[in-house]
Structures are given as C-alpha cells and as structure tokens.
C-alpha cells in the first residue's frame, strides 16, 4: 500500500480516524453496493438466493454494518479511479466479477454518485456517532467541574485585561453550553443524513425501466433502510444541503472545542497558571516544559475547519447541471477531513477535560493581584466593593443551570 | 456623511440592504438601549415616567420597532468609536445626555457587548424576515414553473455532457427543494435569535448589584421581550453559536440561489439557449448583448458568502476569555455583509424567477441533438430507446412532489 | 446619499479609508475614462482641443491625479449600475453627455472591464502607497525599539510556556522582519499594477477598427502612462494574477501586523504586563480598563483578511470565457475590503508601535519567575545556567541585524 | 501500515504525490537531522568520522538528497507524535539510538521546529520542482497550440453570451500567460525557500553554548547548504512569510490551471464542442459519455486550494510568542495538501494540454451561429461588419507574443 498519509502531520487526528480512512471509505462503497442489491431483494425485485450470495460474499451482517471487500486493493482502486474521476467505476467491475452470476445485480440501475454519496453519508454517520460520544464524555466532565468549582471566585478577563469577578464554575459552564449545543446540532445533522439514489440523471429512470414506476419510487427508501440512513425526499445530486448542513455542524463542534482550548492555552500560561492539562506534552529541547498539548492540537484544528466548511459551501453553490463539473469532487476530501477533525478534536477534548487540573492558588493569586479595580464597577453602582466574592452576580446560578448532563449521572 | 460604501461595487446588493446599513445599525443600537430601560421599567426597577420619557425621546413605538437617534450623527459616531473599539461607548454618552434626568437609566448595568450583540440580532431578524419573503416569492414562482413544465422533456447534463433525458419541471423542482430547505433553515435560525445581556463579565453582577438576584435573573427575558428576540439561556459573550448558526443559514441561502444562478447562466448560454432572464443586462460595448445579469450577480455573491461564514466560525473558535481580543470585532462586518448578500441574492433570485423564460424550441433542439446516445443506458437495460420521453423515470413525479408552496396558493 | 457603510462596524478601518471609498472609486472610474481620451490624444488619435476639453471638464491635473465627476451622484450611479451589473454603463452616458461634442471620445472603443479594472488598480496604487508609508513608519519605530531594548533579557515563550531566555530587542526585530518583508512585497506588487485595455473580447479589435493596428497596439501603454500604471503585456480580463498577487501582498501585510498584535495582546495581559499600548481603549462598564485596543482591532482584521484573499483566488480560478459570469464581480468588494483592511491595519500598527511602552520591571519579574527551568537546556548542554542573560545566544545580533530601516534615518 | 489516505477520494492528486507523502516527510525529517550533523562537521564542530557514520547510516548521498530511515516505522512514529504534538520528539530518540556513539550529534542544539520547518521546505522544493516541470510541459504544448490555431477565428463569450470575434490562438495564449506567470512565481518562491535553525527560543543560544558565537552564527547557512535550501536571514519560527509566500504561489498555480479547466469544461459542452479532452473519462451508467475528466479534476482542486492558502495566512497572522500555540501545527497539513494539489493539478494540466483536440468545425459553426450580432460593435464603429475574421484586432499578435516558451524548443 502506498500511503499518502498515516497521520504524521496531523497529531490532532492521529489515532482517532479509523472511521474515515480510505479503507473505511472502500468498505462503505462496498456496503452501498450490497445494500442496493439487498434493497432490490427486499422489494422482490431480485431473487433471494442471488441477494444472499452477494450479501454473504461481501460480509453483510446487518443494517449499518460495513462490508468487507475481499480482493479489492484500495491502492489499486485509487489509481484506477483517476481515469473516470471516481472509484466506483473500477470497483463495480471488481464486485461484479467477484459475484459471478449474481454480479448482474451489482450497481444495477445506479450511477456512481448514488454510491459515493451514500457511502460518504455512511462513514459520516459512524464518525459522528463516535465524535458525539466523545463530546458527551467531555460534557459530563465539564458538568462535574462546573459543580466542583461553583464557588471558586476568579477574575474575568475582557480584551485580555482583568475586568470583574466571576467564578471558575461559570467559566466551565460556558464551555459546556457551547459543546452541548454543538453536539445537539451534530446529532440532529446525523439523524437527517439521507441515502442517495437517483440514477444517471437523478430521475430514477433506470430503475423505472428495470422495475416499473411503483417499485422504482419505493427503492430509495428501501436502500436507505438497508444502510440505516434516511430516505431522501428526492435525489440530491446537485442539491447539496445534506453535505453543507453536516459540514456546518462539524465545524460548530470544532468551534466549541476551540473556545475551550483557547481558554485553556491562555489560563495555563506560565504567568497565569489557573489551569493545567493533566498530561501536557514535552519538548525535544527543554525537558522542563509542560505544554498544553491537547489545547494546541485542538486549536490547530480550529484554524483549519472553517475553511473546509467553506469549501463545501462553494461546492454546493456551484453544483452545475445534473452533476457538477468539479464541485462534487471537491466535496469528498473536504468532508472527510472535517469528519477527521471533528473526531480528533472531540477525542482530544474529552481527554483534556478528563485531565484538567484547576490550581486554586493561582486563581486566588490572580484575583488578589487584580486588586481593587475589578470591583470599581460595583462601587460605581453604589456597592461597597469590599469583597470580589460578593460581585459574581449569577455566576453560581449559571454554573448550576448548565447542570450535569444525562451522561454524567 | 463620509460614506465608505453606497453600493457602487456591489450591484448584487445595491438597493436591497436598507435593513443593514450603518444607519440601521445605529437605530438598532439605540433600540437596544431603550429596550433595556423599558425592561427595567417592565420589572418595576425604573420609574415609569422616566422610562416613558426615554422611550418617547428615542421614538419607541412597540416591540420590534427600531428607534431613531435624534442628534446622533452616524459618521461622528463611527469616528468616535475607534478609540474604544466600539460605537456603544460614545453612543451611551450622547443618549444619556440627551435624556436629561432620565439618562441615568440608559445603559444601566450593561456592557457594550450586550448592546452590540443585541442590536446585530435585531437587524438580523429584520433582514432575515425580508430575505425570507423574497425566497418565498421565488419558491412560489418556481413551483408554478415546475408545474408548467412538468412534461417538457429535456436533456440532463452530467460533467458538462449530455447524459440522459429529464424534464424541465424536474430541474425546477430540484432548485425549489434547495431554496425551500434554505428558507426553512433561515426561518428557524431567525426564530432562535437571542438577546444578549450579561454585564461586564457575563455574570449579570451589575444587575444583581442594582436590582437583586431575582430581578437580575428576570431581566434578560424582559429585555428580549422588548426587542422581540428570544431570551438567552445564558450570556453568550464568548459562546458564539447564535452568530455562526445564523451565518450558516445565510450561506445556505446563497448556496441555494447560487445553484439556480449557475444553471441559468449555463442554460442561457448562446449555444444552449434553453432559458433566458426576462430582463438581461446590457453592455457598454455591444448593444446586442442580453446577459443573464441576475445570475451573474448571484454567482458573484456565491463566491463570497462561504468565506464570510468561515470568518464567523474562526471568530467563534478563538473567542478568548470572557470577551475576545479581536474575534468579536471580526464578526461585525462579516455578519453584516452576509446579511447583505442574503438580502441581495434573495431579491435577485425572486426577480430572476419571476422573469425566467423557457425556450421550448431550444429545449427540444438540444434534446434532439443529443440523439441516440442519451437512451443508450435505457437500451442497455433492455428498453427500446425509441423515445427520450419514455425514459424520464419519475421526473414528473419529482416535479409534482415539489408541489406549490403555500405562498403560491 | 444613502450610505451603506460609514465604518460604524469597522473601527479598525474607520478614518483610514478615504482612498478606497465609493467616492474614490467613482473618481478613479472618471480618471480612467479621461485617461483613455488623453491616451488617444497623446498618440494623435484625437484632436487636442477635445482632449483638453474633456481633461479640463473632469479636473485632470496630471498623471496619477484623480479626477472629479461633477454632476455624477455616486448613489444614483450605484442604483443605475444594477441593471447592467456594473457602474460604467450608466457613467459613460453621463460623461458623454457632460462633455458635449467631445463626448464622442469618451469610452471610445473600450469595454466596461477596461475601465473598472484600471480604476481598481488606480485606487489600489494609491491605497498601497499610503499603507506602505504607515508600514515604513512602524518599521522605523520598531527598529528604534529593537535597538533600545537590545540588551533587555526576557523569557521566550513556546506553546504558551516559559521556555528559554531571549531579549526584548530580538522580539521586536522579529516583528520588524515580518513587516519589512510584507512592505517590500506590497511595494513590488504596487509597482507591477497594470492598466487594463482590451475592448469587448480582449483583442483590442475596436481600437484596431478606430485607429489601425499600430496605434491600437500602442494604446494600452499610452493609457497606462496617463494613469501612472504599468503597461499590460496583454489584456488580462480573465488572466487575473494582477489581482491575486496584489491581494496576496495585502494579506501578507495584515499577517505581519497580526503577529505583532497577537504578541502585544498577550504581553499586555494583566498577569504578564511586559508591554502596554500607549493609548489603550476604555470600557463602557469598567472605568479602570486599559485595553490593548489597537491590537484588538488589528487582530480582528487578521481573522478576516485571509478569506478575502481566498475569494480573489476563487474568482481567478473560475474566470470563465472572455469575461466571467460572476467571478469578476466577486472581486470588486473583496479587493476593496482588503485594501481597506491593509490601510486600517497599517495605520493602527504605526500608532501602536509609536505608543508602545515596555515595562522593564515586568520583563524582569517574569524572567525571574521563570526561574531555573529556562536555563535547564543550557545546563544540559554543559553550561553553568547561572545567569539567563548568558543564554540569549545571538539575540543581540539578531536585533542589530534587523537594524534601522532607511526610513528611520 | 494503517493508511489514512491512499488517494481514494482525491483522483486529482492520486499518482502524483510521491514527493509529499508521509513517507517522504519522514525521509525529509531524517535528512534535516543528518544535514544538521553534517553542517556541524563542515564547520569543524563535529568529528568527521562520526559525521560520516551518521551520514552513511541514514543514506546521505549528496546535497538535496533525501535520506532513508531504516528502522523507523512511519505509522508508529505518527502514533508516538501525538503526546508531544510533533513527530520529531520520538524520531530523535530513534535516530540517536540507531547512531550509537555518534548519536550524541543528532539534533544537537536543535528544536523540533528547526527540523520540521526545514523538512517541509525540503519536500516543498522537490514538489515545486516537479510541478514546475509539468507546468513547463503544459506551456510548451499551449505555445504550440496557440501557434497552430493563430488564425482560427472563433466567437468570444462574455457573461456567457456571444460577444465579438476572437481567435482560438489568442484564447490559448491567454491561458499560457496565466500558467507561465504562475510557474515563474512558483520558481521564485522555490528559490527562496529557507532552512530553519534557531534553537528553542529562536536565538541560537544552544548553538552558541555548544560552539561559540561565530560558529553558531555560521551554522544556519551551513545547514541550509547541506539541504540545498537558502540560508535564512534569521530564525523564522513565528515570522511565517516563507510559508505563506510559497502557499500563495501554489494557489496561483491552481488558479491558472483552474482558468484553463473552466474554459475546457465549457468549450467541450455537448452544445459547444469546440474542444475535447483527448482521453475523456467514462461513466458507470452511460457508456457513450466522454467527460472532460481532467478539467473536472482540476476544477475540484481550484475550489479547494484558496481556502488552504487562507489557512496558512491565518496561521501566520496568529503565530504567537516564540512558538505558536496551534497556528504552527495548523500549517503542516494545509501546506502539504497545497503541494499535493499543485502537483496533481500540474500533471493533469500537462496531460490535458497534450491531449487537447480542437474541433474546427464546431468553432466555425458557433461563429456562424453567432451571426451578425458579433460584428455590431464593428459596424457601430463604422466598419463594414461583413466578415468576423476582419474584426479580431490584435488576436494574432497576442498569440504570437505569447510565443513558444524556452521549454518548447
């Protein structure tokens, strides 16, 4: 295998992207082809024995399961994909030949885009489920941290300067709100992921020719059911909101984690020291260094994700004709990289949260150093300004309201 | 007034952006300040007479109404905003002075971000409502066009080449699905827009100091009610999903319109000629030219919007501390420009749709020129391939299913 | 005048963008039209009296001068630009009418893109010159600062943590190198800005028809000379590197300033305090605050500029046919906003540098607090590690080498 | 090896990216480490025998040569890179151990960033050289095509509509100018690529400690010489123009190719047919299809590259402190993907150009169909308008001036 990337330049995602590797994409492509055969079988449009043969051959074990592709070399396939511009063309040949007599059922009536779009939705569903689990874990930890530090008064900073008092718990609760919202949006996007089935021109004409109108109309839902995806309301070959809405949700996840990482990186600065990552990274030159390594990695992703989301939108906005002349191809690596970033960022965030250490002394020291100025507003409003702890407003309530997530119970 | 922009370099938005000009922003800032006074009044935290005086002085006439700012010159304000980095600081001085004895109520307990965020949500709500109306009008027209051309067989094109038959109606229905989805998402985003109220550190401490915990806790919802916005679940000074979710929805609108414009630009090419804009643009050099002017303008926006959305995400992901050191400021022009593009694109799309002319002769000519090849798939599947019209599959059903929107009845 | 923007939402550019307002664009459009008349005159292709009449009428006073447009209302023009998609179409009518009998010379043989592209290059040249002056001023200040603080030992920070010793001067010298490089690239880009002249199809056919081949071939250079721009090697209607190379240089300026602002924002944090902006911004809620206001504004621009540069590249990459169907129009506001950001950022950077205050006590305090760890590398290499000042390597030499810029002498 | 990507989702780059795979990066990292040992040797700072031993062990054969890394598994290294956030930390351990007694020389005085930055510049130099060769080949072909079709009159299109006459040769010459300019800029960027050497804080203090000031000052140039890179004027750990200038040049290459691909995709449309790719791609559903496959792939890259360039700029603009907290890490995958796109796009462009077929009949047919309108401008200028060929202005001269490139002789 000639690997382009094994993750050497992407420590933020290394070890977290099994769900979206090229091998996973290949398995998903095979799964989509098998699911199409099975959908025809489920509607009585293909003989059961052949359907079973194909299913067995490629390792089908149930809805949402990902097939294997014995005899398909992903490296060869990548090379053979170039001429036609996509890997389905050579893959179909291999799968048909591999299936012998039943091979006629493979890719029957479909177009490449049906298979690729469906496969990408399939790996998206799996990746999102994994990322969502990591986010839920991070939420549970942050909810606990918010509760644990509910009463710890700290100095709030605005435009880099000491401003007024707040609490450590309120800060954690703010992070938690962002992550929870992002996960909810991501889960909603995942729940809406549709299968793709339209045939060459998006009219399902090939299926009508093969099976008649009624069965052709029923096929997309049957196909989606086999894949564990949503039935599309219509083919979406050039109506690309399923991709952009997913992309937006993935970027939102990275944003929410980016906010946390930005704050952790700042608050673990040598001079501030209110937070520390439990397992900070080392240095090749300086043995004493304890870097906020997860924060750094998450932040690296946060600088990249928005532009990948933009690429998906540009592709959607220029999706010409009944299949685009470049815009569709631009989506593939951008969507996959966004999935990868969401996976890596979520996993790093969960680990960061789990290991996060609060330094109460430093919190208190910085608060004290902020001095009188941070209660000047209070005094201007008529208060005594004697005690910063008496000027945290609803900070405790904000921490309480963020509350423990279901996952934390 | 020293105008930076009146729209000379932005024909796609010129004439459609009254809701988001600097004058509109100023009015929204004043509205937010008045609403805060009124919210205090509504909770019995300010004397009714003073509240009425401020309301009257700045032209308050009801929830969602935008105030005037007599005596405030937007140009001066822009200049005076530089030193502190935002326009609220000088504005508060003017408004307090203008309100005389009642002036003490103005901006009471608030921080600049409370006012700017709320004002931007306010102009967003107005802009979105206007854009949504334009989109609904475009949908109604496209639904009619889809029905009118339900049976017109045309050639589908994939990767720029003639592929298989489809119908003109199915094409319009595909456009319609994209626009309708985008409008629904936009409307949902608009319905969720929250007011912002948190005070200097996002803890509402100033309001607690002024009014006590219970009333401080009630104030954000009262403030939101005055503005016709949603009550926030917590201050979102550095939890920026309200901005990015809105931004994503605005970009999705531009995407959906961009798809239409891309197809219209192609299908009105001199050699294709299946579509024409009713009022194409002219040329300074060539009197005969009938350019697809609205499509060109919409496409210009489609190349710009995704990057503006990316900027909002980058700002969200790097929103440091309890108020960011640059990320928040980066949002303002990016969000406003996205609103402007959505407004301009929606209006141009509605006009484009309203004037769109189908050339049945060209449709038929291109179909005929495509010849036998486009039914080769049908023939390979065992069909006769004698008539392209017999190979449009469910195209008519897809057109029917897109159906007339409610707005079209 | 119905102003969209006067700068209320853009404090980073407010007051610094006279060179690129819509009024400036209008003046540049008129200048380009007059220059074309004059170029014809210079080649003996138009009678001198008419050329003088047009020149006088529109206020021509010399190469590089920007004309006035009496009787042209920029607001009306923006509105009238919509139908044809660009402002030159209505402008030509006005200018021709205004010029009476000599009006026939106006826009003779030209296409809209000739005028708009040339006008945008003209305002670019002016804006770049102004930005370059600000950058040079910032460089002079930083060179002085690097020299002044050549021997001040400070702690270097990597991944947010104290690392090893450095000097304040070396830090300033690093900033200086980035800014100087950016200015040199910007100046080089400015020196290469070409006029545009090609006629409707980019073949100069109209000019050949009017004047013959030899004079048509000479006209672009004559036109460029009148404008103080470079003669194009060929029409570049859809060969857009003049725009993207300028855009890249503008983004590079913002990057270089962004690096400085990022460091100043960090180093002026309450807990660090090694630097302070001379005139920090205030707060509407907290009278004690001294925010690093210029840094915040510059950073807001740094989050925006790269995406504007990307838009220019996307437009260049999709510049279809002999004039694009949207890509060209997308350039206008993106380029103008980049110019505006470069102007605002450069001016703010010069002011920031001029007012920058180093706090030697804080520098020393942080160095001391870093303690023994920052010489652990030295010790591992066999050094004594007794004195951080003995472990700054070539920091002084790096500061010296950055040296005073020519501008600083 | 657990490969993330072998290119399955990236047909535009598959087969063209050997120079930038993770394996190539690993080899470059080793090369940088060996070069540092050799540089010390060249300055007499390390004993020759040990230097030779390290050189021999890791396969050094000459300047610019890329070393092997026997015993280093790239997959393991990627995994071990996560904790510290970069692969150099674990790599150094392996290399030192592998080198036995001479291992003490490995990474002596260096910091991770010295090695990673230098290695990325090294693979950049190789990738750029390869891309430049492909571009030169494309230029040679286009120069020949411009000459061959110098006199073929065609219709120019603006805003998608027939406009005025031009020639096929002038069109090719326009493409050629864009590509040639891009290659020149790319070559210039490649010629400027600097090595990185600064030690932990960018002061070269570790080298001063080891070798004294004079030798430490000489080391970066010696290191660069071993690598075949430019000597840096100073460490550029957080002065990132070497990366962004390269990135801009790479995007410009993709832009120039994107322009060509956009035109080829349009001109090979079924209804236009003036051009065809020699080896168009097929379809999984429609055997008759001849898609403009290379154009589609190039266009997919053109929609992606600008955002990758933007990521590099964002990283440069937020490169904090003496080493950034995320921005540096964000560069790695973005730069590598840009290199990959430039390689793939250039190779596809050369192949596209080599196989490009002009259909003179279609050119003539479209010109004829454009009819009288395209000479209406000529007639308005007083010409006869009898023959489009008499209204191509300087089109032939523009084709001639683009001339054959040196490479084509």
Structure tokens at B288: 């005969």
Q: What confidence score (pLDDT) does residue B61 get?
A: 85
pLDDT at D409: 34
Cβ–Cβ of B207/A393 closer than 8 Å? yes
pLDDT band at residue A234 using 50, 70 and 90 as cut-offs: very high
Q: What is the pLDDT of residue C408?
A: 37
3-state helix, strand and coil shares in percent for chain B, rounded to the nearest 5: 65, 5, 30
- Among residues B7, B56, A346, which one has the least CA distance to residue C23? B7
Which residue, A348, A149, A319, is CA-closest to A237? A319
| pTM check: above 0.90 | yes
Contact C330 B206 (CB under 8 A): no
Provide the pLDDT for residue B409.
34
Cβ-based contacts of B186 with chain A (< 8 Å): none
The answer, yes or no, to whether residue C288 has pLDDT greater than 70, is: no
Answer positive or negative: Cα dihedral of C24, C30, C36, C38.
negative
CA distance D309 to D331: 10
Q: Give the separation between CA A193 and CA A128, rounded to whole angstroms.
A: 11
Verify whether the Cβ–Cβ distance D326 to A78 is below 8 Å: no
How far apart CA D234 and CA D322 sit, in angstroms, is 13
3-state DSSP call for residue A230? strand
* Whether D181 is catalytic: no
E strands in D68-224: 153-158, 161-167
Whether B82 and C14 have beta carbons less than 8 Å apart is answered as: yes
Asked if B159 reaches chain D (Cβ–Cβ under 8 Å), the answer is yes
Question: Is the minimum CB–CB distance between A272 and chain D shorter than 8 Å?
Answer: no
Are B279 and B292 in contact, with CB atoms under 8 Å apart?
no
From first CA to last CA, the distance across chain B in angstroms is: 45
Contact at 8 Å (CB) between A344 and D85?
Answer: no
Q: How confident is the model at residue B131 (pLDDT cuts 50, 70, 90)?
A: very high
Which is nearest to A29 in space by CA: A108, A109, A112?
A112
The predicted-structure confidence for C132-178, as pLDDT tens digits, reads as follows 999 999 999 999 999 999 999 999 999 999 999 999 999 999 999 99
Give the pLDDT score at C407: 40
Is the pLDDT at A287 greater than 70? The verdict is no
With the C-alpha atoms ordered A309, A315, A318, A323, is the resulting torsion angle positive or negative? negative
Contact C156, D203 (CB under 8 A): yes
Residue-wise pLDDT for B315-328, tens only, equals 999 999 999 999 99
Position A212 scores a pLDDT of 97
A284:D88 CB<8 A: yes
Q: Are C237 and C322 in contact (CB under 8 A)?
A: yes
Tell me what percent of chain D is helix, strand and coil, each rounded to the nearest 5. 65, 5, 30
- Report CB contact under 8 Å: A156, B182: no
Tell me the chain D residues in contact with residue A8 when contact means C-beta distances shorter than 8 Å: 22, 25-26, 74, 77-78, 81, 87
Q: Does B62 touch chain D (CB under 8 A)?
A: no
Of the CA atoms within 13 Å of residue A155, those in its CB half-sphere come to: 29
C-alpha A311/C-alpha B255 separation (Å) is: 11
The more confidently predicted of residues B279 and B345 is: B345
Chains touching chain C at 3 or more Cβ pairs under 8 angstroms?
A, B, D
Name which residue leads in pLDDT, D72 or A62. D72
Contact assignment for D5 to A12 by CB distance below 8 Å: no
* Gap between the Cα atoms of D285 and B158, Å rounded: 11
Q: Which residues of D touch B269 (CB under 8 A)?
A: 157, 160-161, 266, 269, 271-272
Cβ neighbours of C86 in D, within 8 Å = none
The residue to which tokens 């997308």 are assigned: C330
Q: Do C89 and B283 touch (CB under 8 A)?
A: yes
Region of residue B320 (left: phi > 0; alpha: psi -120 to 50; beta: else): beta
**Tokens 């995400």, residue located:** B313
Bridge partners of residue D162, in order along the sequence: D157
The answer to whether B387 faces chain A, any CB pair under 8 Å, is: no
Average pLDDT over residues A269-292: 81
Cα angle C93, C95, C99 (rounded to 5 degrees) comes to 120
Residue D407 pLDDT > 50, yes or no? no
Which residues in chain A have Cβ-Cβ distances shorter than 8 Å to D75? 6
Q: Does B400 touch chain A (CB under 8 A)?
A: no
Name the pairing type of β-strands A153-158 and C161-167. Answer: unpaired
C146 touches chain D (CB under 8 A): no
Q: Can you tell me the ipTM of this complex?
A: 0.96
Q: Are B283 and C206 in contact (CB under 8 A)?
A: no
Report d(CA C392, CA C150) in Å as an integer: 11
Question: Could you read off the pLDDT of D167-183 as tens digits, one per residue?
Answer: 999 999 999 999 999 99
Residue contact A81–D14, C-beta within 8 A: yes
**In a 3-state reduction of DSSP, which class is residue C291?**
strand
Name which of A331-340, B4-13, B267-276, D286-295 the model is least confident about.
D286-295
Which two tokens mark A77? 């396939």
Closest chain C residue by Cα to residue A158: C291
D285 near A111, Cβ under 8 Å?
Answer: yes
Of C307, B179, B248, nearest to A244 by C-alpha is B248
C118-137 average pLDDT score: 98
Q: Work out the minimum CA distance from C332 to partner chain A, whole angstroms.
A: 18
Summarize pLDDT for C312-334 with one digit per residue, the tens: 999 999 999 999 999 999 999 99
Helix (H) or strand (E) segment spanning residue C164: strand C161-167
Distances (CA, A) of B316 to A259, B218, B325, D324: 7, 27, 12, 19
Using 50, 70 and 90 to split pLDDT, how confident is the model at A384? confident
Query: DSSP for B214-230?
Result: HHHHHHHHHHHHHHT-B
User: Is residue C183 within 8 Å of residue C135, measured between CB atoms?
Assistant: yes
CA torsion sign for B396, B397, B398, B404 is positive
Contact indicator for C160, C230 with CB cutoff of 8 Å: no
Q: Does B292 lie at the interface with D, CB-CB under 8 angstroms?
A: yes
Q: How far apart are CA B328 and CA B315, in angstroms?
A: 6
Packing angle between helix A327-355 and helix A305-317, nearest 10 degrees?
150
Strands B153-158 and C275-276: unpaired
pLDDT band, residue D66 (cuts 50/70/90) = confident
pLDDT of residue B285: 64
pLDDT (tens digit per residue) in A333-362:
999 999 999 999 999 999 999 999 999 999
Mean pLDDT of B377-402: 92
The Cα D280–Cα C387 span in angstroms is: 69
Q: Give the mean pLDDT of C289-299.
A: 93
What whole-number distance in Å separates Cα of residue D356 and Cα of residue D171? 14
Look up A396 and say whether it is catalytic: no
- Collect all residues of chain C within an 8 Å Cβ-Cβ radius of residue A270: 155, 157, 160-162, 366, 369-370
Q: What is the pLDDT of residue C340?
A: 98
- Contact (CB, 8 A) for C312 and C318: no
Tell me which residue in C271, C285, C289 faces A366 most closely, judged by beta carbons: C271
pLDDT of residue B255: 98
Q: A323: left (phi > 0), else alpha (psi -120 to 50), else beta?
A: beta
Strands A357-358 and B153-158, by their bridges, are unpaired
For chain B, the average pLDDT equals 94
**Token duo for residue C314:** 């996307």
pLDDT band at residue C400 using 50, 70 and 90 as cut-offs: very high
Query: What is the pLDDT averaged over residues C396-409?
Result: 71
Rounded Cα distance, D260 and B9, in Å? 27
pLDDT of residue A407: 40
Indicate the angle between helix axes D213-227 and D22-42, nearest 10 degrees: 140
> What's the confidence (pLDDT) of residue A343?
98
Residue B93: CB atoms within 10 A of its CB come to: 15
Adjacent-strand bridge partners of D281: D291
Give A409 to chain D, closest Cα distance, Å: 30
By CB neighbour count within 10 A (0-12 exposed, 13-18 middle, 19+ buried), where does D41 fall? buried
Reply yes or no on whether the pLDDT at A273 is more than 90. Answer: yes
Tens-digit pLDDT profile for residues D76-130: 999 999 988 999 999 999 999 999 999 999 999 999 999 999 999 999 999 999 9
Q: Where are the beta strands (DSSP E) in A153-201?
A: 153-158, 161-167
Cβ of residue A310 closer than 8 Å to a chain C Cβ: yes
Residues contacting residue A227 through CB under 8 Å, at least 6 positions apart? A31, A32, A35, A63, A64, A118, A121, A122, A195
More confident residue, D321 or B384: D321
CA distance B207 to B215: 8
Question: With b meaning 16 or more CB within 10 Å and e meaning fewer, what string describes B305-325?
Answer: bbbbbbbbbbbbbbbbbbbbb
Q: Tens digits of per-residue pLDDT, D223-269?
A: 999 999 999 999 999 999 999 999 999 999 999 999 999 999 999 99
Mind listing the pLDDT tens digit for each residue in D196-205?
Answer: 999 999 999 9
What integer pLDDT is reported at residue C287 of this predicted model?
Answer: 60
Please list, residue by residue across C122-152, b when 16 or more beta carbons sit within 10 angstroms of its beta carbon and e when fewer do: bbbbbbbebbbebbbbbbbbbbebbbebbeb
What is the pLDDT averaged over residues B157-165?
97
- pLDDT at position D378 is 92
Q: What is the mean pLDDT of residues A220-232?
A: 97
- When mean pLDDT is compared across B276-280, C140-144, C155-159, D345-349, the lowest value belongs to B276-280
pLDDT tens per residue across span C330-353: 999 999 999 999 999 999 999 999
User: Where is mean pLDDT largest: B281-290, C382-391, D267-276, D397-406?
Assistant: D267-276
Q: Which fold has domain B18-408?
A: Fumarase C; Chain A, domain 2 (1.20.200)
Residue with tokens 């960061």: A352
Banded pLDDT at C281 (limits 50, 70, 90): low
- Rounded CA separation A62/A67 (Å): 10
Q: Is the pLDDT of residue A108 over 90?
A: yes
Tell me what the pLDDT averaged over chain A comes to.
94
* Chain B residues with CB-CB distance to D369 below 8 A: 270-271
pLDDT exceeds 60 at position B26? yes
The single-letter DSSP state of residue A278 is T
Which of D286, D305, D310 would you mutate first to test chain B, the one with the most B CBs within 10 A?
D286
Of the candidates B298, B266, D344, B259, which has an alpha carbon nearest to the alpha carbon of residue A243? B259
Q: Predicted confidence band at D3 (pLDDT cuts at 50, 70, 90)?
A: confident
């Amino acid at each position: 295998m000639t690997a382009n990337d094994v993750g050497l330049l992407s420590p933020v995602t290394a070890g977290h992207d099994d769900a979206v590797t090229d091998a996973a994409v290949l398995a998903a492509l095979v799964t989509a082809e098998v699911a199409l055969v099975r959908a025809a079988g489920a509607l009585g449009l293909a003989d059961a024995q052949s359907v079973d043969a194909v299913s067995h051959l490629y390792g089908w074990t149930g809805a949402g399961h990902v097939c294997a592709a014995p005899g398909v070399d992903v490296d060869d396939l990548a090379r053979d994909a170039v001429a036609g511009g996509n890997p389905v063309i050579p893959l179909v040949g291999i799968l048909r030949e591999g299936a012998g007599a039943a091979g006629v059922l493979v890719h029957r009536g479909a177009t490449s885009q049906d298979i690729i779009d469906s496969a990408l939705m399939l790996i998206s569903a799996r990746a999102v489920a994994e990322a969502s689990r990591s986010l839920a874990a991070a939420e549970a930890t942050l909810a606990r941290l918010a509760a644990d530090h509910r009463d710890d008064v700290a100095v709030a900073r605005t435009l880099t300067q000491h401003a007024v008092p707040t609490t450590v718990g309120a800060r954690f609760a703010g992070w938690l709100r962002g992550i929870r919202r992002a996960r909810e949006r991501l889960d909603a996007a995942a729940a809406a992921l549709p299968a793709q089935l339209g045939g060459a021109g998006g009219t399902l004409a090939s299926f009508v020719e093969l099976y008649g109108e009624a069965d052709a109309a029923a096929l997309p839902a049957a196909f989606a059911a086999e894949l564990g995806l949503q039935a599309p309301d219509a083919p979406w070959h050039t109506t690309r909101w399923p991709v952009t809405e997913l992309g937006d949700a993935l970027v939102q996840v990275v944003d929410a984690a980016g906010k946390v990482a930005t704050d952790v990186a700042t608050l673990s600065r040598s001079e501030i020291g209110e937070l520390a990552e439990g397992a900070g990274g080392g240095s090749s030159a300086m043995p004493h260094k304890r870097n906020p390594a997860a924060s750094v990695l998450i932040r690296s992703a946060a600088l990249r994700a928005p532009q990948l989301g933009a690429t998906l939108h540009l592709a959607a906005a220029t999706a010409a004709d009944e299949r685009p002349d470049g815009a569709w191809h631009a989506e593939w690596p951008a969507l996959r990289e966004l999935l990868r970033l969401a996976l890596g960022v979520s996993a790093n965030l969960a680990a960061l949260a789990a290991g996060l250490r609060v330094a109460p002394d430093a919190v208190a020291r910085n608060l004290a150093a902020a001095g009188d100025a941070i209660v000047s507003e209070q005094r201007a409003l008529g208060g005594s300004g004697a005690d910063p702890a008496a000027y945290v407003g609803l900070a405790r309530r904000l921490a309480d309201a963020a509350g423990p997530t279901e996952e934390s119970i």
